Amino acid sequence: MTPLEKIRAELALKVGENAVFDGWKQEAVDSAAAQLDIDRDKARLAFPKRPEAMVAAWIEAVDAEMARRQPPEKLADLRVTERIRTLIWTRLEIAGDAREAVRQGLSILSMPQNIGLGLSTAWHSADVMWRLAGDTATDFNHYSKRTILAGVYGATLLSWLDDDSEGWTETAAFLDRRLADVGKFEKLKAQWRKGQARRPSFVRFAGRLRYPPR
């Protein structure tokens, strides 16, 4: 990591907190630099200037802080669903002081010109969570798990943004329901795969029609 990358990583979460008041603008970087006693010119050089890139740098910092707080060995005794729940909840706790900036950031990433960046950051965050949870899949499951998790996390984030309940209890209940739905889906998928070997194959059937046994 270069010196400027270190400064960017150090600044990012504070930039998000200041973006609540300053928006995703240079003023948020200046405020964060002052709070952390980082030279303003170095901070401006280290941190992205475009709003969408600022949001992406903040999300990257959330990924890193989540990994710091919840390393794999800390999650090892939990079931997989509990690991994922813990990781998602940790992300919300990290973002707590920047909640209104998160709302602005999602609006920025949802702009047509930024959708690709938004999708890539969501995919990367889901990938980090699955790796921390111990996933080593390299087949189709690798992609399906990350796609599903990105959807669960995105939906939970939207619920959290409008949650005024004590301790975010409404968001907690929402997250538990989503994870339960995913668990049911995974069980059905496993059952389907288990019976696939015994299930009649249309391809084999069609092949026999074309090349009947002699």
CA distances from 138 to 132, 170, 175 (A): 15, 35, 26
CA distances from 104 to 74, 142, 208 (A): 33, 30, 59
Let me know whether 81 and 38 are in one domain: no
Let me know whether 56 and 161 are in one domain: yes
* Cβ partners under 8 Å of residue 78, min gap 6: 86
Let me know whether 26 and 94 are in one domain: no
The arithmetic mean of pLDDT across residues 63-82, rounded, is: 96
Q: Residue 189 sits in which domain range?
A: 51-210
Say which CATH number the domain at 177 has.
1.10.357.10
Residue 189 has a pLDDT of 52
Q: Is the pTM of this model over 0.75?
A: yes
Let me know whether 100 and 130 are in one domain: yes
User: How sure is the predictor about 206, in pLDDT bands with cuts at 50, 70 and 90?
Assistant: very low
Let me know whether 23 and 70 are in one domain: no
Domain end (from 10, 25, 49) = 49
Residue 204 has a pLDDT of 46
Give per-residue pLDDT as tens, 31-45: 999 999 999 999 999
